[in-house]
Amino acid sequence: MARTPVAEHEGRVRALLAPLHTREPEDVPVASALGRVLASAVASPIDLPPFRNSQMDGFAVVASDLSPGVTLPVVGEVAAAAGTPAPLAPGSAVRIMTGAPVPEGADAVVPVEDTVATDDGRVAIASMWSAGSYIRDVGSDLRAGAELLPAGVRLSSRHLAALSAAGITSIPVVSRPRLAVISTGSELVAPGEPLGPGQIADSNGTALVAAAREVAAEIVLDGRVVDDADAFGALLEAAIAAGAELVLTSGGISQGTHEVVRETLEPLGATVDVLAMQPGGPQAIASYRGIPVVGFPGNPVSSQISFLLFVEPILREIAGLPDRSRVARVLDEPLTSAPGRRQFLRGRALPGGRVVPHGGPSSHLVAALATADVLIDLPEDATELPAGATVETWEL
């Protein structure tokens, strides 16, 4: 049986999930907006800073009063606190703290390091300072009405700081894609439950939920179901009721019996295929009552790599995240690959731009994937590669 190229299936998944890119904005508190994508530009409602303030601890003065070695009477102190300080008369100085409002009449701040306090309540100033020295003018950072942040930025701590400084408490962000994750298999039990004969813990659900959240998706349903068509159909209905925009399944799409995903969705027009890749050959896409379904193999490494290849790039685009890093590295030892299949081997990066395979190619080796730090991406025609050959690797 001819296997479908990976790129062809990538195109199918991208076409199926194209509607996910059309996102309605939602307002969220700034305090909850970390990692979200700004849906529209935000202007500052105030000048930043909103008042003239001191850049240094020192003395506020009138610059024209200064000459080398001049002494001025200290007539007060201004702290960084609410209120308006008294105007400063020419020929005097006022002690001022960083961030404190500069009194009317003062036009320079002399850093405390350039001064000496005298016993008679005066301050000696060693150097000349020009008007504007160490004063932060109103709007010197940003004027009221100017754009504070553009649309499309993914919000980090520095963005939230700027929004808070402008007094903004709520912002429009791109809504997160809502995903349902369904693990299928009568052999599955919840992680931590005692394993009976023939049973395994469900790692696919854990992995897919975490992987989706890592690229800013919202999980509305996380379910596990035995190989029963009615039970699987009930979970699909529950996913729709929960508002899922995309359903991810694992297992149930191979060519044997008890393949509940294939048996349920193929009559509805699902495409169930075998790709020219390892691990992760069996793949499925479908539409269930207008909701896209992407089906991954049940073997845990296959499921994780399938998500990385076919769904993660789309969710990264929506979330404003960069593509997963790919780096060319040099093989530290020779390796072989199955002919006619694009193979993703677990690997470990070594110093000097080298890489070595880690663990075997089998799709059940979850511990080897957990302790790898790259995937070695071998094209379909690469059957034997010597040490020193250059390969593309995906950062994990």
Are 310 and 271 in a shared domain?
A: yes
Are 183 and 298 in a shared domain?
A: yes
Residue 228 maps to which CATH number?
3.40.980.10
Are 18 and 29 in a shared domain?
A: no
- Residue closest to 178 by CA, chosen among 216, 233, 207: 216
Are 264 and 383 in a shared domain?
A: no
How do residues 3-39 score in pLDDT, each as one tens digit? 999 999 999 999 999 999 998 899 999 999 999 999 9
239 lies in a domain? yes
- Residue closest to 295 by CA, chosen among 215, 182, 205, 177: 182
Are 306 and 371 in a shared domain?
A: no
Q: How many other β-carbons are positioned within 10 Å of the β-carbon of residue 172?
A: 18
- Residue closest to 369 by CA, chosen among 358, 380, 377, 379: 358
How do residues 74-101 score in pLDDT, each as one tens digit? 999 999 999 999 999 999 999 999 999 9
Domain count, the chain: 4
Phi, psi angles (nearest 5°) of residue 275 = -95, 160
User: What's the predicted TM-score (pTM) here?
Assistant: 0.83
How do residues 251-283 score in pLDDT, each as one tens digit? 999 887 889 999 999 999 999 999 999 999 999
Is the alpha carbon torsion for 100, 106, 107, 109 positive or negative?
negative
Sole residue written with tokens 């509940």: 260
Are 83 and 68 in a shared domain?
A: yes
1 lies in a domain? no
End-to-end CA gap in the chain? 32
- Residue closest to 207 by CA, chosen among 232, 176, 177, 183: 183
Are 254 and 336 in a shared domain?
A: no
143 lies in a domain? no
Q: What domain range includes position 382?
A: 326-395
Residue 274 exposed, middle or buried by CB count within 10 Å (0-12, 13-18, 19+): middle
Are 349 and 236 in a shared domain?
A: no
The reported pLDDT for the residue numbered 366 is: 86
Residue 64 maps to which CATH number?
2.170.190.11
Residue 337 maps to which CATH number?
2.40.340.10
Please tell me the distance from the alpha carbon of residue 168 to that of residue 165, in angstroms, as a whole number: 8
Please tell me the distance from the alpha carbon of residue 139 to that of residue 46, in angstroms, as a whole number: 8
